[in-house]
Amino acid sequence: MAEQRRRKRPTTTTGRLFRLTGMTTSIATRVAGHQVKGLFQSESAKAADREKLMQHIGKEVAATLGEMKGAVMKVGQIASQMQDILPKEISDQLKVLQNASAPMPFHVIRRQLERELGGAISERFADFEETPFAAASIGQVHRATTHDGDPVVVKIQYPAVKESIDSDMKHLRRILRLGSLLKVDEAALDGVFREIRNQLEEELNYHQEAINLNQFKTFHQHQPWLVIPAVYEDLSSEKVLTLSLESGTPLEQVNDENGFDQTTRNLLGERLFDAIGEQIFRYRTVHCDPHPGNFAFRPDGSIVMYDFGAVKRLPSEDANLLRDIVEAALQQNWLQLDNLLKTLGARKQDSQVSDQFYATWIELLLRAFSSEPYDFGNSCLHTDIMKQVRKTPLEQMMKFQPSPRSLLIERVVSGHYWTLMNLGVNAAFLPNLEKALNESQAATA
């Protein structure tokens, strides 16, 4: 019974603070114990104990954040993809958060929904399914039917999430600082956390997400194969968003048996690439959550795109800088690439990187972007990159760091690499990449 009480998910700011403070104190105690123990150990024993400590911290953070939902869990999900910031033992443990989706009890959701829409559920909807069909870090989604008979989905934000952003992030930063766990300097970390916080602030405003949805509909009106849900304004608020139900096949079910032959899957991959490429280089406004649950596919080649809360608006100078970096890499102009990465903030200023370093890494990173078809379904690119990381001296890797200017764009690109893999796409993407870069030049002119 005591364990059940301890594991009860906090739904108030005070409860969240209590849980985070307890986790921070526990980790601080373990780090202090490790430091004292290290005074009496050999270097090899100290390293082995540190690896165990990192694994334990990762498990504790992942378990607590997975229970809590909200901003701190969202940051944890993003952190799970940041092995350039966190020790691998911790980032590996945080990966469990990418699929953590236990829903809130319906009585909590009912109270939030009725408060936001100003009336009983039965007054607002003809039918409302109590069991959610999707749950995420900051909210969950229920199917419903309007009184006009329209099938819709209703996205409800969890209570106490917005009010706890600053407290959540303060505690998470404190945890990451403990025991010198971070691999980047304070200025870089400040920029990363500022970027994440800004995105969370926007993602928690469903009025803004409704604006985003309408904006992206306008962006992509020349691409009718990209399906974006319509907003029901009268059934939406800052913390509730009601959208048209747009069905499609989940990524894991896109296969021959469900009507998706190789030609169709190749088409879907190229269309997805073109849509994201236009968002980055032409519209400079990017759908920034590549989680597979935010996309669905249809045998006619259509792509359904959900969840427009996480949107990155690129300043013109950042979009142009990213374009120039890609072009320098394609042209193998290593000096220009190095200078551009320093401008981006991804390269530390007081260090030198050899041409051979860039030649090796760019060959890897651009392997899928050639004039010959690339078989994503059998891609080993991700494993080859990890092998190269292990082969590269640490002092070379430490010359690079995350840049807040490109953080979310990198998340988009890496996320959709896995989408193309799971689709089993086999296509040549260099023409698509060159088209996106040319559109960027046209947008600048």
Measured CA to CA, the distance from residue 323 to residue 328 in angstroms comes to 9
201-227 in b/e burial notation, b at 16+ Cβ within 10 A? ebbbbbebbbebbeebbebbeeeeebb
Average confidence (pLDDT) over 191-203: 77
Homologous superfamily (CATH) of 105-157+200-246 is: Phosphorylase Kinase; domain 1 (3.30.200.20)
Nearest alpha carbon to residue 159 among 63, 71, 291: 71
Q: What are the residue ranges spanned by the domains of the chain?
A: 2-100+161-183, 105-157+200-246, 248-445
| Residue 177 vs residue 230, higher pLDDT | 230
Average confidence (pLDDT) over 4-12: 49
Judged against a pLDDT cut of 60, whether residue 252 lies above it is answered with yes
Judged against a pLDDT cut of 60, whether residue 214 lies above it is answered with yes
For residue 17, name the pLDDT band (cuts at 50, 70, 90). low
For residue 313, name the pLDDT band (cuts at 50, 70, 90). very high
Q: Residue 4: what pLDDT?
A: 39
Average confidence (pLDDT) over 23-44: 71
CA distances for 78 relative to 28, 164, 168, 180, 286, angstroms: 23, 18, 14, 20, 17
Average confidence (pLDDT) over 349-353: 87
Q: Residue 262: what pLDDT?
A: 97
Judged against a pLDDT cut of 70, whether residue 183 lies above it is answered with no
Measured CA to CA, the distance from residue 424 to residue 421 in angstroms comes to 5
Measured CA to CA, the distance from residue 238 to residue 161 in angstroms comes to 13
Measured CA to CA, the distance from residue 348 to residue 352 in angstroms comes to 9
Looking at the chain, the whole-number percentage of residues with pLDDT higher than 70 is 80
| Residue 215 vs residue 292, higher pLDDT | 215
Q: Residue 50: what pLDDT?
A: 72
| Residue 432 vs residue 100, higher pLDDT | 432
Measured CA to CA, the distance from residue 212 to residue 218 in angstroms comes to 10
Average confidence (pLDDT) over 238-258: 96
Looking at the chain, the whole-number percentage of residues with pLDDT higher than 90 is 53
Q: Residue 3: what pLDDT?
A: 39
Measured CA to CA, the distance from residue 392 to residue 311 in angstroms comes to 34
**Tens digit of pLDDT for each residue in 370-391?**
889 999 999 999 899 989 988 9
Estimate to the nearest angstrom the gap between the alpha carbon of 53 and the chain centroid: 26
CA distances for 354 relative to 38, 87, 338, 339, 360, angstroms: 36, 25, 10, 13, 10
1-11 in b/e burial notation, b at 16+ Cβ within 10 A? eeeeeeeebbb
CA distances for 244 relative to 143, 151, 381, 438, angstroms: 10, 7, 38, 35
Q: Residue 217: what pLDDT?
A: 96
For residue 161, name the pLDDT band (cuts at 50, 70, 90). confident
Average confidence (pLDDT) over 416-438: 95
| Residue 190 vs residue 16, higher pLDDT | 190
For residue 142, name the pLDDT band (cuts at 50, 70, 90). very high
Q: Residue 79: what pLDDT?
A: 61
Average confidence (pLDDT) over 156-177: 75
Average confidence (pLDDT) over 122-127: 97
Q: CB within 8 A of 236, min separation 6: which ones?
A: 206, 207, 210, 242
Task: Read off φ and ψ for residue 151, nearest 5 degrees.
Answer: -75, 130
Least confident piece of the model among 79-88, 283-292, 308-317, 354-363: 79-88
For residue 87, name the pLDDT band (cuts at 50, 70, 90). low
Average confidence (pLDDT) over 231-241: 96
Average confidence (pLDDT) over 28-49: 71
Least confident piece of the model among 128-137, 341-350, 435-444: 435-444
Q: Residue 104: what pLDDT?
A: 85
Judged against a pLDDT cut of 50, whether residue 1 lies above it is answered with no
Q: Residue 185: what pLDDT?
A: 59
Q: Mean of the per-residue pLDDT values for the chain?
A: 84
Average confidence (pLDDT) over 281-289: 93
Nearest alpha carbon to residue 68 among 109, 23, 115: 23
Q: Residue 78: what pLDDT?
A: 63
For residue 177, name the pLDDT band (cuts at 50, 70, 90). low
Judged against a pLDDT cut of 90, whether residue 225 lies above it is answered with yes
Judged against a pLDDT cut of 60, whether residue 2 lies above it is answered with no
